[in-house]
Structure 1
Amino acid sequence: MKLITVNSNKSTTIGGVEGLIRFIQSLDIDYKMIELFFSIGTKEVYQENKNIDYIDYSIKNHSGLLSKLGLKINQIRKIKSCSAGDGAVIILFHPNDLLYMPVSILKSSKIILVQTNRFDIFFKPFSKIIMALVKKYINYVTVYTKKDKAVLTEMYPDLGKKIKVIPRGCRIQSCETVRTCSKKLVTVARIDEDQKDFTAMLDIFSRLPKGYSLDIYGGGSAEEIASLQEKVGKVPGVQFKGEVSDDLPKVLQQYSVFLMTSRYEGFGQTLIEARSQGLPIVVFDNFDALSFIVENGFNGFAIQNNDRHEFSRKILELCENEHIYMNMTRNALSKAQETNLDLVNSLWKEIL
């Protein structure tokens, strides 16, 4: 049996979807694993898995419309060439990719569509047209939370029992000890200003009194990193640390509070990693899965979108009140059990 993933970026790069693909590839299942991709993003960080066939369907030496057309034609060819239709399991991370699956393959394969963003981002108008045409071929749609399942059921009632709630699993082991209250703040994110809104984060930090520090970890394009470094250089107390080392738990355990100012997210993988190390979280409340990860006032604070004053006020409330802080760090570790890898493993194996 073959298991085929189709995604824009190779799974050896940084990203939530890329991490999920690596997780699926690591499952203890008897499948031949094939990965289709057309980009390595900015940089390969992880080693290739020797048990995976990596197939690059990118088009070289073309640009514009010709390149896009050639890319999609090549995607169809590669799907056919790896005999995807012979009872294979095909996992897609964007509804538009359904359009580039030959009908013969859609009919003879198990098709799994994975939610990778808030539904208003995930289902653009063109994606909705595609869903109307080919959703009957989908065997399962995985969503982050019960709330997402309710939203998707309302959008597509006929998907019914095909919708399965499978949260992202935390890829690092939970810490056994609570954090200590300090003024050391941290974020880990792909460096992408349009989505992550580091401008807001720096403005929020600038409202805090002296004595606070903020370290920003992440990778991205050279242009994005250069832009961020220029902004960081103007705000005392903030440092850009680059990509996280392999020992993420050790890095996170140096800090007390995790920040996220994204304009939108799908699930927020870094948030469950932060809470696994006992870090309370302060985040803008602008994606459905957040309520599953951060229970407002319990293991962090979910702030009304772009209310920067309230965001900075809640950081102060956490870091200046040890009683509040210690309750939240304990609660963070308690909630971390909801994304235990063994639980998520079993949910994936049920549908594969």
Structure 2
Amino acid sequence: MKIAIVFDDCMRLGGVERVINNLADYFSDNFNYTIEVINYNMNSKKQNFIYNSAVKITDLTIKNTKKDFISKFINKIKMRKKLKKHLEKNKYDIILCMAALSNILVAQVRKGIDAKVIGTEHVPYDGHSLKTKIKRRIFYKNLDALVVLTQEDYDKNAKYFKNVSIIYNSIPDTFKYENYNVESKKILAAGRLTEGKGFDILIKCTREAFEKYPDWNLEILGEGEKKKELGSLIEKYNLSKNITIKNFIDNMEEVMKEYSFFVMTSKYEGFGLVLVEAQATGLPVISFDCKSGPKEIINNNIDGVLVNAENENEMSKAIVSMIEDKEFRKKLSKNAVINSERFRNEKIGNEWKELFEKMIKKKSV
């Protein structure tokens, strides 16, 4: 089976990019699929992900140094034509579009392309801008199937689009449990330093904990436009001795073993893959019950802790409680490892395989 995975930039650091890397390698290694990852706006300055040698990486980016509206508009038209020509020429069986903008782009150039086109969502239904929502309603009719990440998103999308299914994001086998360091006094958070990730809320929510337990600290791993602002907030609350912001690292599965627990204060998530990654390594997790992923990952007070969305007081108390209750952390760690097994590549990969085969069967009828 010949599969094209379409995205703007698969080498940029981020959750969707990690998912693409994981799926492409798994499909190639385990199902003997011919995989090509097609990028139409690749601007990463370095290669942040390593793909298997059998996976082909294609860059269709049309470089444009001019920033005026007309130049950008012309560039978009050229890029669409280039992508359409490439998709027509290479005769794929499946075109897998990653995230809404890629779904819309391929749906716009779909006419004349014989492959089955599957769209995927990585932002909750209500998280899209009005412009994107309108485009989705217009162009998603050209998709053969749409894959979402949560039941909540399924319920909303199934009202408007055909052939919607749920397939969770998966984690590679490199995320595995070896031991839980219950004596660690380090708290971990990770993600892009953007408004939606709520790191400003997290910083505020740790003040009570660090007043009581000044020998504990928080490390935030991430990069993004809010870095300077978050640094100023840390200084404002005199937390420089307790909170540090570091760049993303490649070997998260190794680093996670150094921490006591993981905290996520996102305002919304498409899924929350980093929660699963943390659980797989045995880290207890605390997360806001934001739309729309955490409640489908965490069983509250069994393998993690769910806090009402954006409730700063409740989150502050949850962090303090986690620090104070070593036995609770040990219980969560044990159950987290068990819970993470349902997100393993073998299970999720087979769900993708079933969908692909179903699509190909329809194509041949």
TM-score for the superposition, normalised by structure 2: 0.85
2:169–2:348 CA contact under 8 A, matched in 1: yes
Residues 1:237 and 2:242 are matched in the alignment: yes
Equivalent position of 1:101 in the other structure: 109
Match of 1:201 in 2: 202
Q: Which residue identity does 2:151 align to in structure 1?
A: K
The answer (yes or no) to whether the contact 1:284–1:303 under 8 Å persists in 2 is yes
2:150 is equivalent to residue 149 of structure 1: no
Further displaced range: 91-100 or 183-192: 91-100
Aligned ranges for residues 239-318 of structure 1 at < 5 Å?
239-244=244-249, 246-318=250-322
2:45 & 2:302 partners in 1: Cα distance?
Answer: 37
How far apart in 2 are the matches of 1:32 and 1:342? Answer: 18
Structure 2, unaligned stretches of length 5 or more? 357-365
1:12 touches 1:44 (CA, 8 Å); kept in 2? yes
Q: Is the 8 A contact 1:39 1:58 kept in 2?
A: no
Residue 81 (structure 1) aligned to one of 85, 88, 91: 85
Q: Deviation per CA, 1:73-116, whole angstroms, max 9, x where unpaired?
A: 123122223143735422222143245324222xx221111111
Shift of the 286–32 alpha-carbon distance from structure 1 to 2, 3 Å rule, reads closer
Cα deviation, residue 174, structure 1: 2.0
Q: Say which SS state the counterpart of residue 88 (structure 2) adopts.
A: coil
Residues 1:163 and 2:146 aligned together? no
1:241 to partner: Cα distance? 2.4
Instruction: Say yes or no: does 1:125 pair with 2:111.
Output: no
Shift of 1:213: 0.6
1:38–1:207: structure 2 CA closer, same or farther, 3 Å change rule? same
Unaligned stretches of 5+ in structure 1?
none
Counterpart position of 1:183? 185
The secondary structure found in structure 1 opposite 2:83 is helix
CA–CA distance in structure 1, aligned partners of residues 325 and 263 of structure 2:
18
Q: Which amino acid aligns with 1:284?
A: F
Aligned to 2:10: 11
In structure 2, relative to structure 1, the CA distance for the partners of 1:41 and 1:100 (3 Å cut) is: farther
C-alpha contact 1:145 1:292 (8 A) present in aligned 2: yes
Aligned residue type for 2:266 = S
- Residue identity opposite 1:239 in structure 2: T
SS at the partner of 2:112?
helix
Where 2:157 maps in the other structure, the secondary structure is helix
Given that 1:181 and 1:325 are in contact with CA atoms closer than 8 Å, whether structure 2 keeps it comes out as: no
Q: TM-score, normalised by structure 1?
A: 0.88
Q: Deviations over 1:32-85 (max 9, x none)?
A: 514123133565422465531322324412213224313321231222231437
Residue 323 to residue 125, structure 1, CA distance change in 2 (3 Å): same
The letter for the 1-side match of 2:127 is I
Going from structure 1 to structure 2, the CA distance change for 1:67 and 1:181 (only over 3 Å counts) comes to farther
Aligned pair in 2 of structure 1 residues 263, 109: CA closer, same or farther (>3 Å)? same
Instruction: List 4+ stretches of structure 1 deviating above 6 A.
Output: none
Matched, 1:112 2:118: yes
1:59–1:67 Cα contact (<8 Å) kept: no
Between the two proteins, the alignment pairs up a number of residues equal to: 340
Residue identity in the other structure for 1:4: A
C-alpha distance in 1 between matches for 2:252 and 2:291: 25
- Letter paired with 2:118: I
Instruction: Say if 1:134 and 1:197 are closer, same or farther in 2 by CA, change over 3 A.
Output: closer
Residues in 1 aligned to 2:24 and 2:108: alpha-carbon distance in whole angstroms: 23
Match runs of 1:331-342 below 5 Å = 331-342=335-346
